[in-house]
Amino acid sequence: MSAPTSSATIMFPAKCFDQEIRRLLEKEYDIEFKSQIFGPAREMEIQRVYDSMEFTVQDGLIVFHNGEARYGEFYELEELLVNKGIPFDRESVMDYDRPPETRVFRPANPPFDASIPDDQSSGALKCLLQAAKAILPHFNNPREGGSPRQRQDQGIAPRLYDAEVLELEAAIKEAEFLIPSYAPLMDWKEAMP
């Protein structure tokens, strides 16, 4: 019995493409590259790729799409990129038993590696998180004694809405855990050696 498949796309800096990545793509995904003359970073022309796959270079990023990726992932490629410290974004489309998600890896210290849900509720959650972060400073006005915690530490009487501000801060922390912020992959394409 074969593994369930769904559509997935992975992106990583083209300047990080090397022989090891090339061999893995040839072995695991049966992609045939044209013979190289000037080295792996300059020549990544495809000789043959299956109908369900696309392999391109766009704006300095390799974009590899597989309409039939096992479990909506590129397991071997993702592990190789993590081991080599190469940042990537992998987006998987919803399947019957799996919600859509984006896996983000950034080789920071400590490394950032997160799988972020991309279902309909996450879009609304992202908007609410942005709005909550935008209004929170208005509730922590220094002229009124600062945040509820600062007011309490200074012995200033609580405001009517201090309890709600504390709840808003807690909700922001929980939402940031579910949908963490990270640097866009485009920021990494030039930073990589």
**Predicted TM-score (pTM) of this structure:** 0.69
Quick one: 8 exposed, middle or buried, by C-beta within 10 A (0-12, 13-18, 19+)? buried
**Per-domain residue ranges of the chain:** 5-117, 121-178
More confident residue, 172 or 54: 54
pLDDT level of residue 157 (50, 70, 90 thresholds): low
pLDDT tens digits, residue range 7-33? 899 999 998 998 899 889 888 887 777
* Pairing state between β 61-70 and 112-117: unpaired
Q: How many CB atoms lie within 10 A of CB 64?
A: 22
Q: How many CB atoms lie within 10 A of CB 10?
A: 22
Which residue is it, tokens 């043959």? 48
pLDDT tens digits, residue range 62-96? 999 988 888 889 999 999 999 999 999 999 987 77
pLDDT at 47: 44
Residue 136 in 3-state DSSP?
Answer: helix
Which residue is it, tokens 């940042």? 87
- C-alpha to C-alpha distance for 41 and 175, rounded to whole angstroms: 39
pLDDT level of residue 2 (50, 70, 90 thresholds): low
For the ranges 34-38, 113-117, 178-182, the maximum mean pLDDT occurs at 113-117
Kindly give, in sequence order, each residue whose CB lies less than 8 Å from that of residue 177, ignoring residues fewer than 6 positions away: none
More confident residue, 123 or 100: 100
Structure tokens at 187: 């920021």
